[in-house]
A and B are shown apart, each in its own frame.
Chain A
């Protein structure tokens, strides 16, 4: 597993924990422990996303850092074997 794959996997882990917590909070919106958990995961996810983006480019078409090329179009796309 190269560095890009590893950073992506770490981000996927954090974002999955966040997705799962959001579903729980949807049906338990006043659960204090879950809200604290959500805050903690949000920070971890944001930090990992920033690290990934700074090294391997944008994950969203509207947060491309201006440069000579629109790096959003760059390979690999998520479904590609090398992704």
Chain B
């Protein structure tokens, strides 16, 4: 279960609204590399994970991503506070405003709603962790792209924090993938799926078990 703590992981205190920047930052809530997909990805994948260290890292990074979603949403909320109708109409946020006013809703930078198709949970530890490594890099590059357009230090500061966390998570997932591989046959990591097959001989299609190959 989870317990809510009435605090942000990193402070957000934005003085000046900016609807155009808010529309871009929204992608890190509901977009393809956003924090909603990140948290759902890791918190879903952990059920198929056989190894204790990796169950722990998926749980704890998945939980931290929920805190990052809260930071991103706080940034969007504060960037859209106290705007006038004229300011909204003149900004790129006007189409979003039609359906959501300045409420928080998971969409990407083009306004396309969040979809579970944006992440994978394959039931295969190697495939899942390889996806997770890519996901952290994609989140990192999106924060890099936000930083290209952000000129408000109140926004740049928490975005930099979130960007750095992607790099740390990438490191931890690299170690997690190594832990998975250390538990498998070093001659063939793909001989069987440790989240499903009991042993390599139980896999019906044994053609990929190359442990007996001589070449």
Please indicate whether A and B come from the same complex rather than being unrelated chains.
Answer: yes
Chain A residues with a Cβ under 8 A of chain B: 5, 8-9, 11-12, 15-16, 19-20, 22-24, 26-29, 58-62, 72, 77-79, 81, 83
Chain B residues with a Cβ under 8 A of chain A: 3-15, 53, 56-57, 60-61, 64, 70, 73-74, 77-78, 81, 168-169, 172, 175-176, 179
Contact pick for B12, options A15, A58, A79, CB 8 Å: A79
Decide: A81 and B3 in contact? CB cutoff 8 A.
Answer: no
Decide: B7 and A26 in contact? CB cutoff 8 A.
Answer: no
Minimum CB–CB distance from A79 to chain B (whole Å) comes to 4
> By DSSP majority rule, is chain B's interface helix, strand, loop, or mixed?
helix
**What are 27 A-B contacts defined by CB distance under 8 Å?**
A9-B11, A12-B10, A15-B7, A16-B10, A19-B9, A20-B168, A23-B172, A24-B172, A26-B60, A26-B172, A27-B176, A27-B179, A29-B56, A61-B3, A61-B4, A62-B3, A77-B6, A78-B6, A78-B74, A79-B8, A79-B73, A79-B77, A81-B14, A81-B15, A81-B81, A83-B11, A83-B13
Minimum CB–CB distance from B180 to chain A (whole Å) comes to 11
Minimum CB–CB distance from B178 to chain A (whole Å) comes to 8
| Residue numbers in A under 8 Å from B7 (CB-CB) | 8, 11-12, 15, 59, 78
